Amino acid sequence: MNELVALDGISVHFHLGGGGFLGGKPRILRAVENVSFAIGEGETLALVGESGSGKSTLGNVVAGLQPPTAGTLRFRGRTLDRATWPQARRSIQIVFQDPFGALDPRMPVSAIIAEPLRIQGIGTPAERRARTAALVEQVGLPVDALNRYPHEFSGGQRQRIAIARALAPDPALIVADEPLSALDVSIQSQVLNLMKELQERLGLSYLFISHDLAVVNHLVDRVAVLYLGRLVELAPRQLLFDRPSHPYTQALLHAVPRIGRKRARGQTIKGEMPSPLNPPPGCVFHPRCPKAQDVCRTTAPILEPAPGRAAHMSACHFKE
Amino acid sequence: MTRYILRRILQALLVLLVMSFVIYSLIGLMPGDPLDIMLASNPGATPEVVEHLRKLYGLDQPLMLRYLRWLQDALVGQFGYSRTHSLPVLSVLVPALIQTCKLMIISFIASVILAFILGILAALKPGGILDGVISLFAFAGISVPVFWLALMMILVFAVKLHWFPASGIATVGDGGFRDQALHLVMPVITLALASTGGFTRYVRASMIEVLRMDHVRTARAKGAAEWRVVLVHAFRNALIPVVTIMALSFGVLFNGALLTETMFAQPGMGKMIYDAILGNDFNLALTGLLFATVVTLLSNLVADLAYGWLDPRIALT
Amino acid sequence: MSAPLLEVRGLRVGFPRAGGLRHVVAGIDYALSPGRTLGVVGESGCGKSMTALALMGLVPPPGRAEGSIRFDGRELIGQSAAEWRALRGNRIAMVFQEPMTALNPVMPVGAQIAEVQVLHKHLGWKEAGENAVAMLEAVGINSPRERARAYPHQLSGGMRQRAMIAMALACEPALLVADEPTTALDVTIQAQILDLMLELQDRIGMAIQFISHNLAVVSEIAHEIIVMYAGRIVERAPADALFANPRHPYTQGLIATLPDPEQRVARLPVIPGGVPDLDAGARGCRFADRCALADAGCRAAEPPAEEIAPGHFAACFKAAA
Ligand SMILES: Nc1ncnc2c1ncn2[C@@H]1O[C@H](COP(=O)(O)OP(=O)(O)OP(=O)(O)O)[C@@H](O)[C@H]1O
Ligand SMILES: Nc1ncnc2c1ncn2[C@@H]1O[C@H](COP(=O)(O)OP(=O)(O)OP(=O)(O)O)[C@@H](O)[C@H]1O
Ligand code: SF4
Ligand SMILES: [Mg+2]
Ligand SMILES: [Mg+2]
C-alpha cells in the first residue's frame, strides 16, 4: 500500500494563558504529544480514545485546520509547509460530528456542496453545477435536494450533504470526526454503508474518528488508540480486536457493552483519564493500569512491535 | 484572587491617569482661560499685570508641563482652590459627592429590589396576565424621559398635593432627618423608576432562561417546593448576568443623577460640575469630572468581583 | 415474581397543538417489580424521556400525562402537587442524561445531595451534609469531603454522574428512573457507572427503569426490555428472549443494523427511511412506512400488543403469526 499521508512526531500544545505581567505560571495543555503514523492509499484508519484524548485535535491537524506545535506532515511523499499546503488542501477534506451545526442554514444545498470548489476556484460555474448534481446523486439524496435548505433535511440526510460537500473537490482523504454520533441508531448504518460504498468506488482513504468500537471494527483497516494525546497502540483491526496488546486497549474493549453479555462486576478499570494540563510521569496510563510496576512510574514506554507481531505496535513496558 | 484585584486596581489607576490628562487638556482647550475672566471683571489691568499673572499661574508654560505640575499636586491631595467658591476644591466637592451618592445608592437599591420582585413574578408565567402588566410597566419606565417624570412628580405631589417639597435638600431652619428624607423621596423615586424598567426586563429574561435549564428540573425532581426551586436554585443562577449589567449601569445612573439633581435643584455633583464649567472654575470642574470617572471605574470593578463571586465557574486570575 | 411496584396503564403524554393534543407517548402499558431492572430503548424522540418524566409528574407544561400510573398501590396521575413533592426524590428518584447541566452550577455538590435529605427526612443541613459525604464515598468518589465542597464544573463527567446518583439515592428510593445516565460518558466510565448502579441496586433493592438508545447497554443490565417507537411500545420481553428471538420487525431491524463484532459483513442491513413525524396520519402501524412486511392491513389499523410467548409482547400483526 502506498503511503498517502504521514504524521511524524506531531505535537499540539495549547497555551491557556498565564505567564507575562502578574499572570502567574503559564499553563500548557498537551493535547497531542509526539504522534506518528501513516495512512495508505485507500486505507481506513480509525482513531479511537476517550473524550479529551486528542482525537479531534489530531484530525484537525491532518485536515490542515490546526497547525501542529511540533512535527511534520507528509502528503504523497512531500512535506507539507506553507507552500505545499494549498495544493494538498483540496485532497484532504473533513466531515464533522454535528450535521446541524456544520451546514450554513441560509445556503441552499447546491451552494453548500459547491462551496469548497468555489473557494478554491475549481471549474466554471456550469461545471460546478454539474458536479454538484452528480454528487447529490452519489450520496443518495433526491435531485430536488439541491434547491432546498439544510433545515428541511433529517440528521442522516444532512450528514449526506456534509459528505457530498467533502467529496466535491475530489479528495484522496476524508477526515471523518465522529460522523455518526449525532445520528439515530437506525440511520447510522445507512451512512456507514454510504461511506464504504464511496470508498470502494472512489478509492478514498478515511481517517475515521470514533469512540464506537463496534462501528470501528466494522469499517476500518487499522486502528490507532490515543490516550492523553499519546499513541498507545497502532495495529491492524483484526489483531487489535483479537489480541489487544496495550492494557488500556484491553480495558477499552472490555468496557464496550455487548448484546447478550451479562455484566461481570468488578472487572472495569478504575479511575479516569488525568488532565492533559499535568500528565503523570512515566507511562501516562500507569495510575489506572492493573499491570503497572515501578518502571512504569518513571520511564515512558515507546511505541514498538508487540512480541511476535511486527505490524502490531504498542507503547507499554509489559505489552502482550 | 488578590492578584486579580491588584491587577484590576492597577488597570483602573492607569485609566484614571489617562483620563485625567484627557480631561485636563479638554478643559485647557476651553475658550477663555481663567485670566480672561478675571480681566473681564477688572478692565483696569495693564498688560504688564496680565503678563505677571500669567506667569504667576504658570499659564505661559506648555500644556504637558502644566499637567505634570498639576498631577504632582493632585497626587498628594492638593486639588487647588475653587475660583468661584473661593474654597479649597475638596471642601466644595465632598459635600456634593456625598449628596449625589446618597441619591444614587438609595435609588439604585430601590430599583434593584423592585426589579427583582417584578422580574421574578413576570418570569413565573411568561405570557400570563401578570407578565403582561409588568412588561407594560417596564416598557413605560424605559420610554418615559426622566425630566418629564420629574416634572410630573413635582406637579402632582409637590404643587397639587403638597406631600413632598419640590426642590432642595432641606428646609431652611429645619434640616432634621425627617425633613431631609422628605426632600429625597421624589428625586429617589424619579431616578429609581428610570432604571427599574430596564432592570426588570433583564431579571425577567434571565429568570426565564434559567427556569428552562436542566438543573431546575433536577431541583423539582428532588421534591423541592416551587418557591425553593425559584428562589434558591433558579435565582442565584439568574443573578449572574443581571448583577453585571446592574453594576455596570451604576455608572450610567450617574447621568440620570445629574439630570434629576438639576430638576429638583439639589446641590449635587451634577450641578456643581455644570456650574464649574460655565464659570470657568478650572480646578473644580477637573476634579469633579475625575471623581465621576472614579465612581464609574469602581462600579466596573465591583461588577467584575460580584460576577466572580456569584459564579464559581469564573476563576478570577 | 412479586407484586409489581409500578404499573403503567394506557399512559399518554400530549402537547397541545392546533386542533387537539399531539401525543408523544400514545398509550403504553408495562409493570415493574421491586429489585428488577427494566430497560427502555428507542430512537431519539420516541418518547422515552416523556415517559420517565410522567412517572415524576414533571412533564413540562403545557404537556399533560393521562392514563394510569400505579405506584406502590397508589394512583399517581391526578394527585396533588404536595403529594408529588413528597414522592419525588424520596420514593421515586431520577438520574438525568447530562450530568453537567443537570446539576446546579452555583451550588456545591455536597449541598445538592444534602438538600434531598433536608427536604424529605427533615434533617438539619449539618447532619445531611455529613450524610452527603458518606454517600459520595459510597458511590466511589475519592476524598469525598473535599469533593462535597466542589462545584459541578470542578468534577469530571464521570464524577458528576456519580454525584447525581448519590443524590438520587439519598433517600433510598423504591424506584430509580435513569434517563440515559451513561450516554454522555466514555465507555470505560460508562462501565464504572453501570457497575455502580447494579451494586447499589443489590444494596438498596430498588427497581430501576433504565432508559437508553443503546441496545447493548440495556442488554447488559436489564431483566426486561421495552422497545419504543414513535410513542408506542412495539415490543416488550425478558432481555434474553428479546435478543434471542425478536418478534417485531423494528426490533429485528435495530438488532441487525448493529455491527456484529464476531463477523464482519460488507454491508450492514438498514432500516430504510427515518422516524415518522408524529403529526402525520395517526392510522395504522407507525412503523409501516419502513417495514418490509407491511401490507394494507398494517396501514389500516394500529396493531395491539399481543402476548406471543409468556411475558413476550409485540405490537405487530405479523409477529403473532
Ligand atoms: N482550542 C483549544 N484550546 C485549548 N484546549 C483545547 C482546544 N482544543 C482542544 N483542547 C483540549 O485538548 C484536549 C483534546 O481535545 P480533543 O477535542 O482533541 O479531544 P477528543 O479526543 O476529540 O475528545 P471528544 O471525544 O470529546 O471529541 C482536550 O483536553 C481539550 O480540552
Ligand atoms: N416541551 C415540549 N413541547 C412539545 N413537544 C415536546 C416537548 N418536549 C418534547 N417534545 C416532543 O416529545 C417527543 C418525545 O420526546 P422525548 O424527549 O420523550 O424523546 P426521547 O425518546 O427521550 O428522545 P431522546 O433520545 O432524544 O432523548 C419528541 O418528539 C419531542 O419533539
Ligand atoms: S507501561 Fe506500565 S503502566 Fe503503562 S500500560 Fe504498560 S504496564 Fe501499564
Ligand atoms: Mg472530538
Ligand atoms: Mg430523552
pLDDT tens for each residue of chain C, 321 residues long: 567 999 999 999 999 888 788 889 999 999 999 999 999 999 888 899 999 999 999 999 889 999 999 999 999 999 999 999 999 999 999 999 887 889 999 999 999 999 999 999 999 999 999 999 999 988 888 889 999 999 998 888 888 989 999 999 999 999 999 999 988 888 888 998 899 899 889 998 999 999 998 899 999 999 999 999 989 999 999 999 999 999 999 999 999 888 887 778 888 888 887 777 666 556 788 898 888 888 888 888 889 899 999 999 999 998 876
Pick from B25-39, B96-110, B242-256, C147-161: least confident: B25-39
B90-310 topology per CATH: MetI-like fold (1.10.3720)
Q: pLDDT over 90 for what percent of chain B?
A: 20
Q: Is C213 in the pocket of ligand 2 (CB under 6 A)?
A: yes
> In this model, does residue A23 exceed pLDDT 60?
no
> In this model, does residue B35 exceed pLDDT 80?
no
Distance from CA of C98 to the nearest CA of B (A): 8
B76 Cβ neighbours under 8 A, 6+ residues apart: none
Query: Is residue C90 less than 8 Å (CB to CB) from chain B?
Result: yes
The answer to whether residues A68 and A316 touch, using CB atoms and an 8 Å cutoff, is no
Chain C hits for A187, CB-CB cut-off 8 Å, are 274
Residue located nearest, by CA, to atom 26 of ligand 2 = C44
C-alpha B104 – ligand 3 centre gap (Å): 65
Pick from A69-83, A132-146, B262-276: least confident: B262-276
At residue B316 the predicted structure's pLDDT band, cuts being 50, 70 and 90, is: low
C-alpha C101 – ligand 5 centre gap (Å): 14
Sign of CA dihedral B231, B236, B240, B246: positive
Residue located nearest, by CA, to atom 22 of ligand 1 = A56
- Taking a contact as any Cβ pair under 8 Å apart, which residues of chain B between 185 and 244 contact chain C? 213-215, 217-226, 233, 236-237, 240
Mutate to test the pocket of ligand 1, among A15, A27, A29, A232 (most ligand atoms within 8 A of CB): A29
User: Grid coordinates representing B234?
Assistant: 433558579
pLDDT for the residue C282: 62
Contact A217 C264 (CB under 8 A): yes
Instruction: Give the chain A residue whose CA is nearest to the CA of C267.
Output: A193
**More confident site: C258 or A318:** A318
Residue position matching grid coordinates 456625598: B98
Sheet holding A3-15, edge to edge: A28-40, A3-15, A70-75, A78-79
Which residues surround ligand 1 with Cβ inside 6 Å? A 14, 29, 31, 49, 51-57, 211, 276
At residue B116 the predicted structure's pLDDT band, cuts being 50, 70 and 90, is: very high
pLDDT digits (tens, 9 = 90+) for A263-284: 777 678 888 888 888 899 999 9
DSSP-assigned letters across all residues of chain B:
-HHHHHHHHHHHHHHHHHHHHHHHHHHHHSSS-HHHHHHHT-TT--HHHHHHHHHHHTTTS-HHHHHHHHHHHHHTT---EETTTTEEHHHHHHHHHHHHHHHHHHHHHHHHHHHHHHHHHHHHSTTSHHHHHHHHHHHHHHHS-HHHHHHHHIIIIIIIS--S-SSSSS-TT---HHHHHHHHHHHHHHHHHHHHHHHHHHHHHHHHHHHTSHHHHHHHHTT--HHHIIIIIIHHHHHHHHHHHHHHHHHHHHHHHHHHHHHTT--SHHHHHHHHHHTT-HHHHHHHHHHHHHHHHHHHHHHHHHHHHH-TT----
Which H or E run contains C300?
A: helix C296-300
Chains contacting chain A through 3 or more C-beta pairs under 8 A: B, C
Distance from CA of A22 to the nearest CA of B (A): 7
Question: Rounded to two decimals, what is the model's pTM?
Answer: 0.85
Interatomic CA distance for residues A227 and A31, integer angstroms: 10
Residue position matching grid coordinates 485507500: A42
Taking residues A191-210, report their average pLDDT. 92
Which H or E run contains C296?
A: helix C296-300
Contact C106 B217 (CB under 8 A): no
Instruction: Give the chain B residue whose CA is nearest to the CA of C164.
Output: B218
Report domain extents, chain B.
2-89, 90-310
> In this model, does residue B156 exceed pLDDT 80?
yes
Chains contacting chain C through 3 or more C-beta pairs under 8 A: A, B
Can you tell me the ipTM of this complex? 0.87
Pick from A224-238, B99-113, B154-168: least confident: B154-168
The answer to whether residues A173 and A205 touch, using CB atoms and an 8 Å cutoff, is yes
pLDDT for the residue B69: 84
pLDDT for the residue C1: 52
DSSP C88: B
Interatomic CA distance for residues A167 and A85, integer angstroms: 18
Query: Is residue A22 less than 8 Å (CB to CB) from chain B?
Result: yes
Taking residues A139-168, report their average pLDDT. 86
Interface test with A, best of C37, C162, C186 (most A CBs within 10 A): C186
C-alpha A34 – ligand 1 centre gap (Å): 16
**More confident site: A122 or A36:** A36
C155 Cβ neighbours under 8 A, 6+ residues apart: C109, C147, C163
Interface test with C, best of B220, B222, B232, B240 (most C CBs within 10 A): B222
Residue located nearest, by CA, to atom 17 of ligand 2 = C49
Q: Which of C221, C302, C276, C215 is nearest to C28 (CA)?
A: C302
C11 residue type, one letter: L
Interface test with C, best of B125, B210, B212, B218 (most C CBs within 10 A): B218
pLDDT for the residue C132: 95
The vertex-B19 CA angle with B15 and B21, nearest 5°, equals: 125
Q: Which of C101, C86, C79, C37 is nearest to C239 (CA)?
A: C37
Contact B6 A22 (CB under 8 A): yes
What is the widest separation between alpha-carbon atoms in chain C? 66
Number of C-alpha atoms within 13 angstroms, CB side, residue B204?
27
Pick from A90-99, A101-110, B83-92, C191-200: least confident: B83-92
Pick from A2-6, A52-56, A269-273, B253-257: least confident: B253-257
- Read off φ and ψ for residue B98, nearest 5 degrees: -60, -45
Q: pLDDT over 70 for what percent of chain A?
A: 97
Query: Is residue C61 less than 8 Å (CB to CB) from chain B?
Result: no
Taking residues A23-29, report their average pLDDT. 75
pLDDT for the residue C237: 96
At residue B32 the predicted structure's pLDDT band, cuts being 50, 70 and 90, is: low
pLDDT digits (tens, 9 = 90+) for B245-295: 888 787 778 778 878 887 887 788 888 888 888 877 788 888 888 888 888
Residues in chain A: 320
Taking residues B15-44, report their average pLDDT. 73
Atom of ligand 1 nearest to the CA of A29: 5
C-alpha A188 – ligand 5 centre gap (Å): 18
Q: Is C50 in the pocket of ligand 2 (CB under 6 A)?
A: yes
Which H or E run contains C85?
A: helix C81-87
Q: Which ligand is nearest to the CA of A286?
A: 3
Interatomic CA distance for residues B82 and A181, integer angstroms: 72
Instruction: Give the chain C residue whose CA is nearest to the CA of A49.
Output: C186
Q: What is the CA radius of gyration of chain C?
A: 20
CB pairs under 8 A between A and C: 119
DSSP C214: -
Interfacial residues of C (vs A; Cβ cutoff 8 Å): 43-44, 156-159, 186-192, 194-195, 198-199, 213-217, 219-221, 240, 243, 253-255, 257-259, 261, 264-272, 274-275
Q: Are strands A70-75 and A3-15 parallel, antiparallel or unpaired?
A: antiparallel
Interatomic CA distance for residues B311 and B239, integer angstroms: 9
Interatomic CA distance for residues C12 and A203, integer angstroms: 51
The answer to whether residues B115 and B134 touch, using CB atoms and an 8 Å cutoff, is no
Interatomic CA distance for residues B106 and C68, integer angstroms: 56
At residue B57 the predicted structure's pLDDT band, cuts being 50, 70 and 90, is: low
C-alpha A282 – ligand 3 centre gap (Å): 9
Q: Which of A17, A18, A22 is closest, CB to CB, to B7? A: A22
**Residues near ion ligand 4 (Cβ under 5 Å):** A 56
C-alpha C100 – ligand 4 centre gap (Å): 17
At residue B175 the predicted structure's pLDDT band, cuts being 50, 70 and 90, is: low
Contact B312 C104 (CB under 8 A): no
- Read off φ and ψ for residue B248, nearest 5 degrees: -65, -35
Taking residues B53-68, report their average pLDDT. 74
DSSP C83: H
Q: Which of B223, B310, B311 is closest, CB to CB, to C90? A: B223
> In this model, does residue B63 exceed pLDDT 60?
yes
